[in-house]
Amino acid sequence: MQKKSTKREIDGVFLLNKPLGFSSNQALKKIQWLFNAKKAGHTGTLDPMASGLLPICLGEATKFSHRLLNANKTYIATIQFGVTTTTGDQEGEVISEKEVIFNEVQLKETLQKFIGDITQIPPMYSALKFEGKPLYEYARKGIEIERKSRQITIYDIKLIKVEGSVTTLEVSCSKGTYIRTLAEDIGQALGCGAHLKGLERTQTGNFQLSDALSIEALEAIAVASREKILLPIDALLEGLSSIELTSTETEAIKKGQSIDFISKNEEELRLYSASGKFLGVGQPDLQGHLLPKRLIANIL
């Protein structure tokens, strides 16, 4: 009987260019297997019909994955105007077809109306959960669940290309934005309806698709060398201020103790030892203390 391989304690961030047809969980499991990692998690779901940037956190990096869940995103969205579907994308059944009669000027004017703070109703075909089950499970059974509208922010919409009734846009948006819903709402505003024909995520927080690797590219790297391509854990925390602790302060933080620290605010800080090693995240208070909030295990 073949001996089961022991999973490795491996920490870092892998930037995956997720292919079409893979769910985020399938992609996660594949990357975890290729690194033989004991623990892994992704940083925001991409539908199987969507491709692009999916940062994968390994080991202790999973403690900080929420930073990217809350990060702004950028997408390249391909929209088919004149056709609405049951799912809001090309995988659904056609509900209606209408003539597309708007021109490019009208399209640009309409797109401008969606920039800023807007409200969306999450689609039924989404991973949003109701009573412990994702909405798409109800949708597949023909059950409609009432969803509350939520506020999201569209920072910018750039018109990239128009080919007949198909338009390609670059959308920069806040967390929680459903691009398929945006496509449907734009189509409704133009009076012809629309659905999302294709979607690629190009940016998550500070991470860019241009720096990501495909599954095939990772497979082509020798197993012994794969760990070298991982980004460090603190790459997830760019934008946070940092502080270097003395040896005494480092030992106190490791033990879960607070240290003296005067701060004018209570924003989280990246913590580093005197030798430059990343320790985790600390939280200052207004009483002159810095408390450890989330530390990596291998410093203890």
The CATH number linked to 279 is 2.30.130.10
Structural domain span for residue 29? 12-70+207-236
Indicate whether 217 belongs to any domain. Answer: yes
Q: Is the pLDDT of residue 253 over 60?
A: yes
Question: Quick one: average pLDDT of 250-263?
Answer: 91
- Residue 130 or residue 24, greater confidence: 24
Question: Quick one: average pLDDT of 208-224?
Answer: 97
Together in a domain, 78 and 55: no
Query: 202 falls in which pLDDT band (50, 70, 90)?
Result: very high
Q: Which residue among 236, 255, 285 closes a domain?
A: 236
Parallel, antiparallel, or unpaired for β 269-272 and 242-244?
A: parallel
Together in a domain, 20 and 37: yes
Give the per-residue pLDDT at 4: 57
* Catalytic choice (47, 89, 185, 234): 47
Indicate whether 100 belongs to any domain. Answer: yes
Indicate whether 43 belongs to any domain. Answer: yes
Give the per-residue pLDDT at 5: 64
Together in a domain, 220 and 255: no
Indicate whether 3 belongs to any domain. Answer: no
Q: Is the pLDDT of residue 213 over 50?
A: yes
Together in a domain, 18 and 47: yes
Q: Is 11 a catalytic residue?
A: no
Give the per-residue pLDDT at 45: 83
Indicate whether 5 belongs to any domain. Answer: no
Indicate whether 101 belongs to any domain. Answer: yes
Together in a domain, 186 and 87: yes
Indicate whether 1 belongs to any domain. Answer: no
Question: Quick one: average pLDDT of 260-270?
Answer: 88
CATH assignment of the domain containing 36? 3.30.2350.10
Question: Quick one: average pLDDT of 184-202?
Answer: 97
201 and 73 Cβ atoms separated by less than 8 Å:
yes
**What pTM does this model have?**
0.91
Q: Is the pLDDT of residue 95 over 70?
A: yes
Average pLDDT of the chain is: 92
Question: Quick one: average pLDDT of 101-110?
Answer: 96
Together in a domain, 78 and 198: yes
Together in a domain, 177 and 104: yes
Together in a domain, 42 and 148: no
Question: Quick one: average pLDDT of 236-265?
Answer: 91
Number of domains in the chain: 3
Give the per-residue pLDDT at 34: 97
Query: 124 falls in which pLDDT band (50, 70, 90)?
Result: confident
C-alpha–C-alpha distance, residues 20 and 25, integer Å: 13
Indicate whether 141 belongs to any domain. Answer: yes
Together in a domain, 85 and 151: yes
Count, residues in the chain: 300
Three-state DSSP string of the chain: CCCCCCCECCCEEEEEEECCCCCHHHHHHHHHHHHCECCEEECCCCCCCEEEEEEEEEHHHHHHCHHHHCCCEEEEEEEEECEEECCCECCCCEEEECCCCCCHHHHHHHHHCCCEEEEECCCCCCCCEECCEEHHHHHHCCCCCCCCCEEEEEEEEEEEEEECCEEEEEEEECCCCCHHHHHHHHHHHCCCCEEEEEEEEEEECCEEHHHCECHHHHHCCCHHHHHHHCECHHHHHCCCCEEECCHHHHHHHHCCCCEECCCCCCCCEEEECCCCCEEEEEEECCCCEEEEEEECHHHC
Together in a domain, 195 and 228: no
In 3D space, the residue among 85, 88, 106, 81 whose CA is nearest the CA of residue 47 turns out to be 88
Q: Is the pLDDT of residue 165 over 80?
A: yes
Q: Is the pLDDT of residue 260 over 90?
A: yes
Query: 1 falls in which pLDDT band (50, 70, 90)?
Result: very low
